[in-house]
Copies of this chain bind each other. A is one copy, B any other.
Amino acid sequence: MDTPPKLRLYVEASLADGASLPLATEQAHYLMHVMRAAAGTEVAVFNGRDGEWRARIEPVGKRAVTLVVTAPLRPQAVEPDLWLLFAPVKRARIDFIVEKATELGVSALLPVWTQRTVMSRVNEERLASIAIEAAEQSERLTVPEVRAARDMTAVLADWPAGRPLIVLDEGGGGRPIAEALSELPAGPAAVLVGPEGGFAKSELDALRALSFAVPVGLGPRILRADTAVLAALACCQAIRGDWRQQPAIRPSSPSN
């Protein structure tokens, strides 16, 4: 079998043999000018629903670019149903959280306002484009959904049944994370990380009282919010997520 194309693109259109995909201006610019692709270059495409397909670049005008789908690469597969609830932090670190959470296989990103959140707004559109780019590079078959920022209390008030909420309890009230995760059943879950200043005492008390909350601790050192997000997500995937599988596509290794 041929090696998969190096370029990889998320598209919204449906994918099937012979389908024609007119690209948006930014994607066309990215392919032709940033990545310096040419007509005939092969690209892998995915849309989160129809698996991954091989496609070919067909120039159709001065700036317009269309991809033509030529062959299937991978069928759509079930991915972990893991949400991340996080308090918005300043720009470089929130971008980082979205990039890393996407690589680590989160299915939805929910920015939540807490009492000590310093930021006052979130650019969900920018976060969504960071998530798309990270999904393209990490060989995911989906892009995590970036929800609109809401008050944490509102999100928790209509919490779905059957989804345990792993709360990073920096107050020392949680169980060691590996122990707590190894006892959680398989299925949907969510991770909640507070802002740099931590949760307020009243928030922590309310969180600990929730029937679906699983307070956990990340050891004796104080972690920044972004470090805590990554560490908790990595533990979730390693201990109860999909890290028991092998890589879907082996990276191409020249035999040197």
Chain B residues near A178: list those with CB within 8 A.
Answer: 238-239, 243-244
Does A179 interact with chain B (Cβ within 8 Å)?
Answer: yes
Residues of A within 8 A of B (CB): 96, 100, 103-105, 115, 137-140, 170-172, 176-179, 198, 200-202, 204, 217-224, 227, 230-232, 234-235, 237-239, 241-251, 253-256
B221 touches A256 (CB 8 A): no
Least CB distance, A166 to chain B, in whole angstroms:
12
Bound-complex Cα distance A121 to B215 (A):
43
Partner of A220 from the list B202, B218, B242 (CB cut-off 8 Å) is B242
A250 to B171, CA, bound (A): 6
Give the secondary structure class of A's interface: loop
5 further interface pairs, Cβ-Cβ under 8 Å (given A137-B222, A220-B248) = A172-B246, A217-B247, A218-B237, A219-B237, A234-B235
Docked pose: A100 CA to B100 CA in angstroms: 13
A95 to chain B, nearest CB (A): 11
Partner of A221, one of B103, B176, B179, B202: B103
B96, B217, B243, B255: the one contacting A243 at CB < 8 Å is: B217
- A221/B138 contact (C-beta < 8 A), A178-B243, A243-B178 known: yes
Can you name the residue of chain B whose Cβ is closest to the Cβ of A233? B231
Contacts of A202 in B (CB 8 A): 255-256
Distance of A78 from chain B, by nearest CB (Å):
11
Q: B235 and A171: CB pair below 8 A?
A: no
Contacts of A138 in B (CB 8 A): 221-223
Which single residue of chain B is at the shortest CB-CB distance from A224?
Answer: B103
CB distance from A185 to the nearest CB of B (A): 16
Do B247 and A104 touch across chains, with their CB atoms under 8 A apart?
no
Q: List 23 A-B contacts (CB under 8 A).
A: A100-B230, A103-B223, A138-B223, A139-B222, A170-B251, A171-B250, A172-B247, A172-B250, A176-B243, A178-B243, A198-B251, A201-B253, A204-B253, A217-B246, A218-B234, A218-B237, A219-B244, A219-B245, A220-B242, A220-B247, A222-B251, A227-B230, A230-B230
**Residue numbers in B under 8 Å from A96 (CB-CB):** 96
CA distance A243 to B171 in the complex (A): 14
Across the interface, do A221 and B172 meet the contact criterion of CB distance under 8 Å?
no
Which residues of chain B come closer than 8 Å to A243, judged between CB atoms?
176-178, 217-220
